[in-house]
Structure 1
Amino acid sequence: RIRVRTGSRVPLDARVDSGHAALNQAPITGESLPVDKQAGDLLYAGSIVTDGVVEATVSALASHSTLARVASAIQQAQSQRAPTQRFVDQFARFYTPAVVVFAMAVAIFGPLLFNGTWSDWFYEALVLLVIACPCALVVSTPVTVVSGLAAAAKHGILIKGGVFLESGRLLKAVALDKTGTLTQGKPVLTDANPFGGMPIEQTLLIAASLDDRSTHPVAQALVAGWREKQPDVQLLPVENFGILSGRGVKGSIHGLSWHLGNHRLVEEMGVCSPKLEARLAALENAGKTAIVLFNHAGPMAVFAVADTIRPESVQAVTALEALHVHASMLTGDNPTTARAVADELGIEGARGNLMPQDKQAAIAELKSRYGMVGMVGDGVNDAPALARSDIGFAMGAAGTATALETADVAIMDDDPRKIADFISLSRQTGAVLKQNISLAIGIKAIFLVLALSANATLWMAVFADMGATLLVIFNGLRLINYFSKRVS
């Protein structure tokens, strides 16, 4: 048996025997708001108790916990990755020895089969060897890739290798986690509506005075919202304060008894009406947590708390669609909240109630449907999907260590718009790579024809080799200022 208090992390998977507590399961399941736990509910290893105390019986060893299964899924997914074969490496592997053999054949068999002296044919072989030297071809790829990596780093995108920069242009779909990626990852007060005859300013002050003594994240969000709206107002003194575990709080203000709590508390106290039920249903269908303030006369106000969408998220989804990359959302939050957020962002495909292994399976399904797929996440629960995807993106500031370690690309300022920026940079890098390879091979081919027709000199060969090398270097370096040019 284990006992877990406020602020503690659940050490092992367990089932609650007694007590009530609110747990932050975002690192494991991705749920945006704390989940209330009571007798019979399952606790996941790695989740954090934000309010309350529970006693529980361990249900799995550390090696078989949810967290351990996540780690195992990451290893399995990473082992499924196929190594990328670089075109230039493969080409140079056969091209260089072939050119050397051909030049030796010219020097040896030229005088024997055609007219001319040994020195003349040896000179032609040298010209041919210098012209065919693959310097420009070999240099064209690393210079371009390093320039792209540097441009991305200056823009706040850290890429763990050139292979991911090159393959990003092939992404056909991107799956995005909701909590902490598309949303802020913390609850805020979104609605404050009067329900009785009392002014909303007064009811909000009463609610904040009651919740100020609670450590529950939803209560803290309401108090923070009150402070923004009424910064110069003092909280009211509360007497007979009490916490109603899993339901809300109660207390007396100026001799009048008040209750502040969730839908369950309203029903238990018998103050729910069809009108109030409709109001609560509307908020809950929008993916929000509804809170009701009431006294003996009935409900006086309805508040709502929710994890708000990042201001950049709509632009991020629009930018992906503009690049013809399908955007979908995967979250451990409930389907109602998932659908509400997806509708606001304009995302058609949204899936909720997903555990880590479910997200991994969803990525596999997207790959079979679209081809190359990217995954964007920030939590431990996203790590298996990040590993299973072709390119994994982690939010650098908000992301967990596991997500950052598993991902291939880190967005350091948590701006989801940079997913589209990365794909755009990858496409431009691919275009420059093609230009450089075409220039290197094209220039070599022209001078090779001149050499074979005995119209090329050694100086021309040196110019062709060094000129082509410098040309591809300067062309590749243009990528360093890719993002600064777009801004200007």
Structure 2
Amino acid sequence: MSESTTHQQRCGCHGHGCTETVSAHEHQQEHEAHHEHEHEHEHEHSHEHAHQAGACCGGTDGGVLKARLSDKAGAESTRLRIQAMDCPTEARLIEKALAGVPGVTELHFDFFERVLTVEHERLESQRLIDAIAHVGMRAEPLSAGAASEPAASTRHGGQGWFALSGVAAFTAEGVAWGMHDQHPLVVLLAVLSIACGGLPTLKKGWIALRSRVLNIHFLMALAVSGALLIGQWPEAAMVLFLFGLAEKLEAMSLSRVGRAVRELMSLAPATAWVRAGDDWREVAVAEVAVGDKLRVRPGERVPLDGDIVVGRSDFNEAPITGESLPRDKGEGEPVFAGSINGQGMVEIVARAPADGSVLARIIDSVRDAQASKAPTQRFIDRFARIYTPAVVLLAVAAAILLPLFGLMPARTAFYQSLVLLVIACPCAMVIATPVTLVSSLAAAARHGLLIKGGEALETAARVRAVAFDKTGTLTTGQTEVVRILPLAECDEVEVLRLAAALDAHSTHPLARALLSAAGARQLDLPPAEQLREQAGLGVSGMIAGRQLSLGSQRMARDAGAWGPALQQSLDEIELQGQAALLLLEGSRALGAIAVADRVRPEAAAAVSRLAALGVHAVILSGDNQRVVDSLGRVTGIDDAQGALLPEDKLTQIERLQARYGVVAMVGDGVNDAPALARADLGVAMGAASDTALETASVALMDDRLAKLPQMLSLAHRTMRVLRFNLGLALAIKLVFFALALSGLATLWMAVFADVGASLIVVGNGLRLARHKP
């Protein structure tokens, strides 16, 4: 279905009988406009600090950094591999270097895969590479379809030389214990250590100074220079070695996050067998066009989303939906890229390009997670802009004021100010958020939970109420006609024939139920003319000169068709927990059609788990109150609101927000678009709807409600890990503030603690990548 297709939201009996015309395309445009406004605001705020010296680790967001925004048409993009880029520290230098290149409009940093995407106005890639080389980094161009797996890091040169640097540094420290820091042998060993392993850090410090960027390399170089100035040769060598070792370990840890993304990417095969006349040929999936016929042999992965046209087989969709049991599928049923074919040979018709498949959207969602600044990340960004210059000023003040007031000897005060410089960069806090969030999102994707970015994940952790739509959410959406009650001279067949004719062109589940029942009886449907939808009421039209209407109780009351016979029929239907569609001719009721929808078997258990998480559940439905109450009893939901118009659902969402705070809305992503948009967190059921994937913040890929409490539980765990990481990093900083101001801290201790904190938060965040619901 096209995004510009007008979707109808039925809100009478069983969601039927009224329509709200919602253009999914317009809704998406409004969403994108709102996002663009927020993003531009964030960019302006970030850019305001772009040239200030206080931006620790580059003062970046760890995601997408905007050098400029441009509205010019004809922009191109170039992907560059930069092995030395795995932290916002390097990103800030790159941004500064490319800001001076005319025509660069936007920069996208992927630290975990070490790929920079530059959007520009027809610039040669060599010009970008030269600009990046100016800040001491080597960039290699990547083609659009190139694999994104980075090579092994060689940031600090040969491993042998680096090992020799460590041996020399530890030996210098040991010799200094028996002699003194300025002994010629100690100095020689320290110089050897710095020459073998410390020069890259000093060089980066010089580049940062030349670029007027206050980052960790500049602070380390300054601290080491100060240590050498006061004769602390072994300590200077040890600091440089420990910092270099920590950078290597941190780069290795961060590469594991990128590996989690690449594991998702490896699920889709690189090639597909495409029909070419009477033969089959193997081509790259990027070359397959929508509508091409593909062959999938037993045991192969499906290369692209498509529909089966020949054959039948079972498919393991665990990589997409998280569902471990294979699903039997035949002609006309959809299959997803990345799923594994079982025993049968099938032919499918591609219905989406390689970059438009469900799997591609999952991968994009995880890869782009570091690009969307979650609230915690925005707070850390603001904090970093204040923290680093404040600590640098504190270091300067300590070096001057402590000796001035006789609290510490001048040499000791100067040394402790160098310690403060080492801990002035909040690297652990800056890197904690993207590592934790991306690890969590990758784990969620592997289990059939598509969460669009860190902000959605943080919002999920704060959800205190969940509003459920009824049709297709708490129920399966597989509605069927249970019985027909004629109320005038019409018989059952005539009532069904006329009702199905009015709904012949609708795609609503109730319309499909009517058409299915009519098809089962092999009824010929007369043409309906002058069809008109009435919001909250139903549909009306002319059939063979008769003015007929099909819809809700409200429609019958407004038409003056209410009477004892109709009331008795409705009571009989509703006591069974069924919904009724009423067929009217003017002010006369011709019949009532009872329809029923099966309750999802896991609905009650999912609601119970939500309650255990402290989340209140409510039903918001267009069905009459008796039917909704019946569903509430089955699922264990006490707060069940029925007979709601589209605007009533929005009012109910606002009521829940006023009472509980953060509210999630669970729907099918099409009929409930307004309510999904109004809620703090929109959750769509299933993977088959493009609208579900485009408009909702979360999609439950295998259409199972059990995944909703799993998603909220993962969000809670993620925030606990994130808060622990940030708290630990900050606590270590505070401890060393106290030690430095007391004259008890040493440079190598500060480096060890600072980089140790970074490694701890990275490792702790990576634990989420192994999360299992």
How does the TM-score come out when normalised to structure 1? 0.64
Greater RCO, CA 8 A, separation 6+: 1
Paired residue for 1:438? 727
> Structure 1 residues 78-87 or 91-100, which shifts more?
78-87
Which residue number in structure 2 is paired with residue 53 of structure 1?
none
Q: Measured at CA, do residues 475 and 184 of structure 1 come closer, stay the same or move farther in structure 2, by a change above 3 Å?
A: same
Aligned to 1:203: none
Instruction: Provide the residue aligned with 1:15 in structure 2.
Output: none
Gap change, CA 1:92 and 1:69, over 3 Å in 2:
closer
Counterpart of 2:745 (choices 436, 443, 456) is 456
Matching residue of 1:136 = 428
Output the amino acid matched with 1:351: Q
Whole-angstrom CA distance in 2 between matches of 1:323 and 1:116: 54
Check whether the contact 1:356–1:381 (CA below 8 A) recurs between aligned residues.
no
Structure-2 separation of matches of 1:26 and 1:325: 30
Matched, 1:413 2:705: no
- Taking structure 1 as reference, are residues 333 and 26 closer, same or farther at Cα in structure 2, changes over 3 Å only? farther
Residue 399 of structure 1, CA deviation? 4.5
The superposition leaves residues 335-380 of structure 1 with CA deviations (integer Å, 9 ceiling, x where unpaired) of 3322222221111112223232221111111111222211111244
| 2:643 counterpart (353, 369, 374) | 353
SS at match of 1:172: strand
Q: In structure 1, what is the equivalent of residue 78 of structure 2?
A: none
The residue aligned with 2:231 is: none
Q: Is the 8 A contact 2:464 2:661 kept in 1?
A: yes
1:370 and 2:660 matched: yes
1:38-437 matches, cutoff 5 A: 45=21, 84=375, 86-114=378-406, 120-188=412-480, 217-218=512-513, 221=516, 281-285=571-575, 286-288=577-579, 305-397=595-687, 399=689, 401=691, 403-437=692-726
What CA distance in whole angstroms lies between the structure 2 residues aligned with 1:218 and 1:307?
10
- Say if 2:9 and 2:19, in contact at 8 Å, map to a contact too: no
- Root-mean-square deviation over aligned CA pairs: 4.7
Q: Report the CA distance between 1:176 and its aligned residue.
A: 0.7
1:14-53 map, 5 Å: 27-29=9-11, 32=14, 45=21
CA distance in 1, matches of 2:454, 2:619: 27
Deviations 1:292-321 (A, max 9, x none): xxxxxxxxxx99641211222112111111
Given that 2:13 and 2:580 are in contact with CA atoms closer than 8 Å, whether structure 1 keeps it comes out as no
TM-superposed CA distance for 1:468, in Å, is 0.9
Shift of 1:445: 2.1
In structure 1, distance between residues paired with 2:706 and 2:764: 27
Tell me the CA shift for residue 44 of structure 1. 6.0
Residue deviations 1:31-67 (CA, integer Å, cap 9, x gap) = 65765xxxxxx87657xxxxxxxxxxxxxxxxxxx98
Q: Which piece of structure 1 moves more, 381-390 or 183-192?
A: 183-192
Q: Residues 328 and 360 of structure 1: is their aligned pair in 2 closer, same or farther, counting only changes over 3 Å?
A: same
Q: Is the Cα–Cα contact under 8 Å of residues 622 and 642 in structure 2 kept in the other structure?
A: yes
Give the partner amino acid of 1:156.
G
Q: Contact 1:33–1:307 (CA<8 Å) still a contact in 2?
A: no
Supply the AA of the counterpart residue of 1:340: S
Contact 2:687-2:699 within 8 A present in 1 as well = no
Relative to structure 1, the CA distance from residue 432 to residue 191 in structure 2 (aligned partners, 3 Å threshold; closer, same or farther) is farther
CA distance in 2, matches of 1:352, 1:434: 40
Distance 1:116 1:218 in 2: 85
Return the letter of the residue paired with 1:287. Answer: Q
Cα distance between partner residues in 2 of 1:309 and 1:128: 62
Is this contact kept in 1: 2:687–2:703, CA < 8 A?
yes
- Is the contact made by 2:14 and 2:624 (CA closer than 8 Å) also made in structure 1? no
Aligned to 2:99: none
The alpha-carbon deviation at position 473 of structure 1 amounts to 0.9
User: Aligned AA for 1:164?
Assistant: A
CA distance in 1, matches of 2:722, 2:624: 44
> Matched residues in 2 for 1:398 and 1:330: separation?
23
Take 1:316 and 1:150, find their aligned partners in 2: how far apart are those partners?
A: 23
Q: Percent identity?
A: 45
Shift in Å at residue 219 of structure 1?
A: 5.2
Distance 2:405 2:721 in 1: 43
Letter in 2 for 1:171: V
Q: How many residues get paired? A: 381
Q: CA deviation at 1:417?
A: 2.1
Contact 2:9–2:646 under 8 Å retained in 1: no
Report if the CA contact (8 A) 1:175-1:374 is conserved.
Answer: yes
Are the aligned partners of 1:74 and 1:388 in contact in 2 as well (CA < 8 Å)? no
Counterparts of 1:354 and 1:303 in 2: how far apart (Å)? 20
Query: Which consecutive unaligned segments of at least 5 residues does structure 1 have?
Result: 1-10, 13-24, 36-41, 47-65, 193-205, 227-234, 247-273, 292-301
SS of 1:394 mapped into structure 2: strand
**Residue 465 (structure 1) aligns with:** 754
1:63-114: CA deviation from partner (whole Å, max 9, x where unpaired): xxx9899889979999999994744233323211110111122334455444
Distance between the aligned counterparts of 1:75 and 1:477, measured in 2? 31
**Structure 2 residue runs without a partner (length 5+):** 43-374, 485-492, 505-510, 529-538, 540-563, 583-591
Native 8 Å contact 2:12 2:624 kept in 1: no
Q: Distance in 2 between matches of 1:137 and 1:366?
A: 34
Deviation at 1:123, TM superposition (A): 2.8
2-structure distance, mates of 1:379, 1:115: 66
1:278–1:440 distance in 2 versus 1, CA, 3 Å: same
CA distance in 1, matches of 2:756, 2:420: 16
Aligned partners of 1:303 and 1:410: how far apart in 2? 33
1:280 positional shift: 7.5
Aligned partners of 2:483 and 2:593 also within 8 Å: yes
One-letter code of the match for 1:158? L
The 1:394–1:100 alpha-carbon spacing in structure 2 relative to 1, beyond 3 Å, is same
Match of 1:16 in 2: none
Q: Which moved more, 1:80-89 or 1:142-151?
A: 80-89
What CA distance in whole angstroms lies between the structure 2 residues aligned with 1:141 and 1:337? 45
- What secondary structure sits across from 1:317 in the alignment? helix
Q: What residue identity is the alignment partner of 1:370?
A: Y
Deviation sequence 1:381-406 (CA, Å, 0-9, x none): 422222221211122425461x5433
Structure 2 CA distance for aligned equivalents of residues 32 and 410 of structure 1? 23
Measured after TM superposition, the shift of residue 175 of structure 1 is: 0.5
TM-score normalised to structure 2 length? 0.42
Amino acid at match of 2:578: G
Matched-pair contact (CA < 8 Å) for 2:617–2:639:
yes
- CA change 1:413–1:26 in 2 (3 A) is farther
Question: Which whole-Å CA distance do the structure 2 matches of 1:400 and 1:473 have between them?
Answer: 35
